[in-house]
Structure 1
Amino acid sequence: MGLSTNPRHTEQGEGKQFLIAAYSADLAPNGATHLRIAQELDEAGRTADALEWAERGLRTAGNRYDLDRQLVEWVCARYVRVGRLDDALAVRRDCFRSQSSLTSYRSLRSAARACGRWEEERTAALNLLRASAGSSDFVAGVGHPARLLVDVLLDEGDVDAAWQAASGHADDRQLLTLADRLRDHRPTDALGVYLRLLQPLKQATGDEAYHEVARLLRSIRACHERLGTPEEFTRYLAAQRTELKRRPKLMKILDSNGL
């Protein structure tokens, strides 16, 4: 399909052809330049050529970890628009394998559900993460697969599996999230996390740290209540207040939290 023969449109079209030629002369290996060309062609009404260039960009990038995310989004949106849901799923699957992240996992899930194929895709994705979780040889620029597995399982609502996967790998943010979600049905495990996280925090100063100390102490109290050991918490709290009594602002915050 040619560009418009209207003089003004012809001038604009020639400008786009110049840009496309310039972009084509120096194509980025991650597909970013292919996307620019696709966008220029799309604006010129050459939708089929635009998609062809975008797809070429995906093929060129292959399984690069730095595959341009906007290119992926552009192609998938175009596929969905024309009802090519299986093709969109294939792109999402390849992207998850090359750029494993919580975001790419969620995108894979949405695409698979649109095709009614989430169960098989979920199994394959989790198997991939589990196979990678024990390896220290992971791709630069991508989070550690063991920690990603924890985030994915938490996102799936499988807290017990996430707790199992977290052993020796989870960071403090993940441990705190796990403890909060485990507290009602596994208070002993949650208590251990809260106690560990509190120790280094007691060395910090400032309002943010003091409010987090109070938050952890409230969580520790909740665990003891769940375990039926409130007296043990009373003794523990008294010991903490004695240890930290020279921080009046912290004491005031603890008082305001009923601690």
Structure 2
Amino acid sequence: MSPPSDLRPYLRTLDAETLVDLLHGHAERDPELRHSLELRAATQSGDVSEAHRLLDTAVTDGNGEYTAKVGAVLDTLRRMLDAGSRADLAPLARRTVDDISAVLEQSGDHAGDLADRLDRAVELYARACAARPPDPEKLADWIIEVEFDGPGRPVIDLAGFAGPLGEPGLRRIKSTVDDVLAASGPGHRRDVAERLREQLAEVLGDVDGLLAILSAKPPSRDVSLKIVRVLRAAGRHSEAIAHAARALTHDKNGHAQTPLKPPEDDEVSRRRKDFDARPDHETYAALREAATTTGEWTAQRRTALARLRELAAEGVEQADELTRVLLDEGRPDEAWRACVRFGASPRLKLELAEQRAAEHPAETIPVFREHVEELIEHKDPQAYREAARRLKLLRTLHKRSDTPDEFTAYLAGLVETHRRKTRLITEIRAARIALPKAVTSPRTPR
């Protein structure tokens, strides 16, 4: 079966009114798309009141409609965070987490689409807190309440909230964890406290404390591998090798079977080694897949992205890799900013500009102008025809950006520069672009 054709070239031939009718008709049949478009319109200026209104009405809907509305709110949160919105999005993100948790508790169904949306909501809340940090102790109190008194979901990863919590918030959580461990016997609260104690040791960089916690656990392959990874990350390589050599797995009868493989044989370690040797979007994707399976992706992602950002300043190829990684992560606005800031390749820049032109016309104008000049330099009829098509797009983008006079001036300068290229002038006329009156056509085509 052949892959579906790319419809974008065809869609570009349609006028705006036809596209509006098509999109509106599809939105009427797809509740999630409709809610997403409603929120895009309402939050264009940074106002999040429409998202709150949607949550107000969502609880009265059926499960499918509720899931769609929550999905639309999450899409809006992600879009505004990616765009660097100045709005304080933390209250909306936190409310979304709390609302989904309440619905899941009532339904008792902790699997499926809504549970996945809860995980997304927590991740977005962490991002919103990082962008506009709330009171750290109040944030700590919320995490404590969710973890110790909640229904068991969501499970908070302290690494994502470490920055906004800061020392005051982390100290508050640690105090509660210590109190629970001192007072509680076996049960839910103690299990939560032990998990948070381990996370606190990781976040605070308490290597010896973390090793003590891990060593106190029942022996297992996973625990031993984590001890080895912690030692390696701390630069204590000889200890890591010694532990790997000593560690053994046992069967039910306690018989030694296979020595624990060195950390290099662990899947995440191998993928990390591949990424460190060749940091690009392919090795990043492989690392993400392996680390997501073991629950290590939050920490791995942070260091991998930092490495890609560091390399992006060194050249076009490296800038392309960072941009593609951000695209793969579903963060198009961040990808665009990286593309512009670090100077990605013209081809990739054009690819992103085509994706952004509809919503951000002014941002993409310089990219399409560069592309027009590049096409003209080819000096062949097909390239001239494509240049004229791009000029038509530029006219539309300037009009939508309320800068039509700039296009007129730009076109006049371009035509004056290339006035002897009669084939180009012919193609511009064929595209029904009005030329400056002073333009004349030399007799010899070029």
Question: What is the CA deviation profile of residues 133-186 of structure 1, one whole-angstrom value per residue up to 9, with x for unaligned ones?
Answer: 3357xxxxxx74333212322333323323332325322112212322332343
Aligned partner (choices 331, 340, 347) of residue 158 of structure 1? 331
Moved more, 198-207 or 98-107: 198-207
What is aligned with 1:108? 287
What is aligned with 2:397? 223
Is the Cα contact below 8 Å between 2:281 and 2:321 reproduced in 1? yes
Is the Cα contact below 8 Å between 1:224 and 1:232 reproduced in 2? yes
Question: Helix, strand or coil for the counterpart of 2:308?
Answer: helix
Is the Cα contact below 8 Å between 2:313 and 2:342 reproduced in 1? no
Q: Structure 1 residues 98, 217: CA separation in 2 closer, same or farther (over 3 Å shift)?
A: same
Question: What is the CA deviation profile of residues 179-199 of structure 1, one whole-angstrom value per residue up to 9, with x for unaligned ones?
Answer: 223323432221122223333
Is the Cα contact below 8 Å between 1:184 and 1:226 reproduced in 2? no
Quote the RMSD (CA, aligned, Å): 3.2
Unaligned runs of 5+ in 2: 1-264, 434-446
Question: What is the CA deviation profile of residues 75-105 of structure 1, one whole-angstrom value per residue up to 9, with x for unaligned ones?
Answer: xxxxxxxxxxx94333222211111222222
Q: Structure 1 residues 239, 107: CA separation in 2 closer, same or farther (over 3 Å shift)?
A: same
What is aligned with 1:89? 268
In structure 1, C-alpha distance between the alignment counterparts of 2:402 and 2:276, rounded to whole Å: 46
Alpha-carbon deviation of 1:227? 0.7
What is aligned with 1:172? 346
In structure 2, C-alpha distance between the alignment counterparts of 1:114 and 1:252, rounded to whole Å: 58
What are the within-5 Å matches in structure 2 for residues 228-247 of structure 1? 228-234=402-408, 236-237=410-411, 240-241=414-415, 243-244=417-418, 246-247=420-421
Question: Helix, strand or coil for the counterpart of 2:377?
Answer: coil
1:186 maps to 2:360: yes
Unaligned runs of 5+ in 1: 1-85, 137-142
In structure 2, C-alpha distance between the alignment counterparts of 1:207 and 1:256, rounded to whole Å: 13
Q: Structure 1 residues 229, 134: CA separation in 2 closer, same or farther (over 3 Å shift)?
A: closer
In structure 1, C-alpha distance between the alignment counterparts of 2:285 and 2:323, rounded to whole Å: 14
Question: What is the CA deviation profile of residues 207-228 of structure 1, one whole-angstrom value per residue up to 9, with x for unaligned ones?
Answer: 4422441343133123213212
TM-score by length of 1: 0.52
Is the Cα contact below 8 Å between 2:312 and 2:319 reproduced in 1? yes
Is the Cα contact below 8 Å between 2:388 and 2:428 reproduced in 1? yes
What are the within-5 Å matches in structure 2 for residues 56-135 of structure 1? 87-115=266-294, 117-135=296-314
Moved more, 243-252 or 158-167: 243-252
TM-score by length of 2: 0.32
AA partner of residue 164 (structure 1)? R
Is the Cα contact below 8 Å between 1:241 and 1:251 reproduced in 2? yes
1:205 maps to 2:384: no
Is the Cα contact below 8 Å between 1:132 and 1:146 reproduced in 2? yes
Structure of greater relative contact order (alpha carbons < 8 Å, 6+ residues apart): 1
